[in-house]
Chain A
């Protein structure tokens, strides 16, 4: 069963691309360009939601631990997925969200556990797409822990 991933050519979702890249060699995926982002699993089942797509891909390669290696980590990962979609996407909550993120990162290299997970990916791409964050970064006003974490991940994400 070959997976077919259609990536929206107008607005490719960073987290999806990165997950595919990260799982290269472990999971066979055909990537196409198209109108919307869709992961076709079987004839009847396909995922259109970004979180579902990356969750599914990550679960296909459990050794990579992208979903977290045990229950606590998995729960934390899903916490951050929701966080990236709500707090960091809404203008009104952005400041509070960023502060919470800064506090969480104060003693961490990665958001969950000791390796890169979907949590890092989604929060990173939410920040990357946020004008507010880019402005803060340019004006050198970004909270220190988030900035450290962000610039640490940046080189791993260039492809």
Chain B
């Protein structure tokens, strides 16, 4: 029970006099459903839909750029490579990985992305063949780009890695292989490791790529392979017709004894020699054993694929 009781200050019924002004305004505080009349204005509707359209297109564009930046994780892109590698290690596929690890040694992570600059006027066929051999063995993310230094790159060269439609994230691949058509005198290969110089020369890059396939050779075999690569690059490619004839003769003698240039298996020697003979040779002057060898090279799927798009 309250001690004090107060009487109400005002009386219950107060008569408020409404102003009798000239204008009447609709209540400002009411829900804006009254403005229907304005929204239906077709001009405004059009503007609205246009804005939505633009926003949608911007969003799509952003998604496309995001996708591209994920795709191009080349050393040329400004990207923290160490971060990529760390995530790779957790989710990388298991098959062949230990293999690739042992081949590349301590720089495995940095070498995962191979970038090759090549001149479209003289496509490095051997590298393309090696690329397809590497693809058979590893999960490779391949990409082709055109550098601003070259203007017109033939369509078949742009598509030399086939259609790269089903892009997965970079982490799902074991190797990145980027080919850039560029106005360079010799093919160049670059890595993301800073302390390594760019590797020049088709033969040297071919040797490296072939080593990724992990075949082991004795000192003698390895040197024989290297010497054939040198012969192809220095003597056959740049040599006079007399030197070319001498090389072909030497090849003919070697191929009399073995199916491939070095031993019983296809090596980088065969790949590089075949390419130089194909690109720089005169098909009329090829001796019989070499002809047979050329045929057996061209029967292999990786050679076939490259031949197909070059012709």
Contact = CB atoms under 8 A, between A and B. Distances in A.
B104 A47 contact: no
Contacts of A59: 219, 222-223
Contact of A75 (B199, B219, B220, B227): B199
Nearest to B238: A86
A95 to B, nearest CB: 15
A75 B207 contact: yes
A71 B230 CA distance: 18
B193 A52 contact: no
Interface in B178-236: 191, 193, 195-197, 199-201, 203-204, 207-208, 211, 219-220, 222-224, 226-227, 230-231, 233-234
30 contacts: A49-B230, A51-B226, A51-B230, A52-B223, A52-B226, A52-B230, A55-B226, A55-B227, A59-B219, A59-B223, A70-B105, A70-B107, A71-B105, A71-B208, A71-B211, A72-B111, A72-B193, A72-B196, A74-B211, A75-B211, A76-B196, A76-B199, A78-B199, A79-B197, A79-B201, A79-B204, A82-B233, A85-B234, A104-B197, A107-B195
Interface of B: 103-107, 111, 191, 193, 195-197, 199-201, 203-204, 207-208, 211, 219-220, 222-224, 226-227, 230-231, 233-234
A41 interface: yes
A31 interface: no
Given A51-B226, A79-B197, A83-B200, 5 more contacts: A47-B223, A55-B222, A70-B106, A74-B211, A82-B201
A56 interface: yes
B242 to A, nearest CB: 17
Contacts of B233: 82
A45 interface: yes
Contacts of B224: 45
Chain A interface size, under 10 / 10 to 19 / 20 to 34 / 35 or more: 20 to 34
B236 to A, nearest CB: 13
Contacts of A70: 104-107
A23 B138 CA distance: 38
Interface in A78-104: 78-79, 82-83, 85-86, 104
| Dominant SS among interface residues on chain B | helix
Which 9 A-B pairs have CB atoms at the shortest separation, nearest pair first?
Answer: A59-B219, A52-B227, A70-B105, A56-B223, A75-B208, A79-B199, A78-B204, A82-B201, A104-B197
| Dominant SS among interface residues on chain A | helix
Contacts of B193: 72
A60 interface: yes
B172 to A, nearest CB: 24
Interface in A47-64: 47, 49, 51-52, 55-56, 59-60
A60 to B, nearest CB: 6
Contact of B200 (A47, A79, A107): A79
A74 B111 CA distance: 14
Residue in B105, B199, B211 whose Cβ sees the most chain A Cβ within 10 Å: B199
Nearest to B235: A49
